[in-house]
Structure 1
């Protein structure tokens, strides 16, 4: 079995990645500030990567500011490549977002640059682009104004973090494949973000109001399907309603 280091191990996606790898009997090194590893300052990173075969990078910035997120991704990519190369790591596998090619502003534009920073480093890199997570909808409910959550009425194909974690673990462990497009994973059907949020809001007693795509960053691109999966995407996991009902 391989030894994996997971950057962002205590985050929304990282927790699932650690669970999947552990269930598959791999040796896992969880990396986050909570475990004493900081991929920005480099504190504890060299020690954490000792004997590691593959880094899985699912660390993320906590806010939507493009400049701050870009700096986080630039620094983390450089640190993971530098310390990974010194430790003899063979591969970095990282999660990205479907449609980042189309992004022009905000967090998605920073994530597009993250792909570029990673791909420019010395270690081989494999990317998996995912649709927005089911869990992201619950986060939108927390961003309320006057007890109302305002959510963009844009098309999406929400996917469960667990399904993304399984696919990312598969990608990280697979034999190298040259010339293939960047793989994508999304949920089983197209949904409207505001309608999904309304389902979650009804269950929690939170009022949700859909807002026009033109009022959010890159909303017009989203409204035209710019962040929906392509024809080669893998569709997996429960619908948002199924996920809500099972609490998984």
Structure 2
């Protein structure tokens, strides 16, 4: 099905956003503010640390809903797992004490099959959130459009950018933010059960093809797909393991449209 634009709320709410300054979080804040909600931005820049819990109780005072869009830049599985599980437990415990109605969090399509790295830390994140009594809603998203220039930046040497061979259905972070806000504010109680709702872009594409389209506008001169036979997740990446299921919401804009608008 196709995504619909976010609509104005019928009731103004006080909503906390963890990771409010991040790639997804800043869009979540924008969507909430456009809808007229009171936003509590949670990040270290605001003096709140969800990993240690410092400042969290004060930040959640009077908050009705928590949206967890926080992430870690580390690709290391243990580092990412420690980050996500600590953050989830602190948000859940502080949220229960503050009397929030629910937590909504973002995850990744296909991560239940991941065995290494950042992706393998996300199931632990989901489980840590779901362990408590506080209702939790999880939205699994495809890779963001913004993922492509990041990978190119990491993998470019000279005039050639190297990216992994991967089947994906890239989606704009703004579209994910709109869907996450909608899920967080949806009336009803209780914890959502699997299959979790998913959001992806309008069509399946290869990461190499998307990177080539981006490079045609922004560089580098050439893009090369790489495949590591020693990578235990190579089959998952290359054979559709990260593609959405039939129940996924599909949301534009298409990647090429988004890439043309990037400065």
Q: TM-score, normalised by structure 1?
A: 0.95
CA drift at 1:202:
2.7
| Aligned residues of 1:153 and 1:195 also touching (Cα < 8 A) | no
Q: Is 1:41 the counterpart of 2:56 in the alignment? A: no
Please report how far the alpha carbon of residue 214 of structure 1 lies from its aligned counterpart in structure 2 after TM superposition: 3.6
CA distance in 1, matches of 2:257, 2:229: 30
2:201 equivalent in structure 1: 187
Match of 2:233 in 1: 218
Relative to structure 2, which stretch is displaced further, 207-216 or 117-126? 207-216
Give a deviation string over 1:147-204, Cα, whole Å, max 9, x none.
Answer: 3322112110000001000000000010237667310000000010011112222322
CA distance in 2, matches of 1:9, 1:217: 33
- 1:231 aligned onto 2:246: yes
Q: More displaced, 162-171 or 79-88? A: 79-88
**Larger mean Cα displacement after TM superposition, 194-203 or 55-64:** 194-203
Q: In 1, Cα distance between the equivalents of 2:58 and 2:234?
A: 43
1:113-151 Cα shifts (integer Å, max 9, x gaps): 111111112311000000000001111011035333221
Matches within 5 A, 1:12-51: 12-51=23-62
Q: What is the DSSP-based 3-state SS (H/G/I as helix, E as strand, rest coil) of the residue aligned with 2:62?
A: coil
Counting matched residue pairs gives 248
Shift, 1:205, TM fit: 2.5
Of the three residues 202, 205, 208, the one matched with 2:223 is 208
Q: CA RMSD in A?
A: 1.6
In the TM superposition, what whole-angstrom CA distance separates every residue of 1:44-92 from its partner, at most 9, and x where no partner exists? 2111101001100010011210010000011101110111111111100
Match of 2:168 among 137, 156, 163: 156
Q: Which residue of 2 aligns with 1:59?
A: 70
User: In the alignment, what sits opposite 1:105?
Assistant: 116
Structure 2: gaps of 5 or more residues = 1-11
When normalised by structure 2's length, the TM-score is 0.90
For 2:259, the equivalent position in structure 1 comes to 244
TM-superposed CA distance for 1:215, in Å, is 5.5
Q: Distance in 1 between matches of 2:203 and 2:228?
A: 20
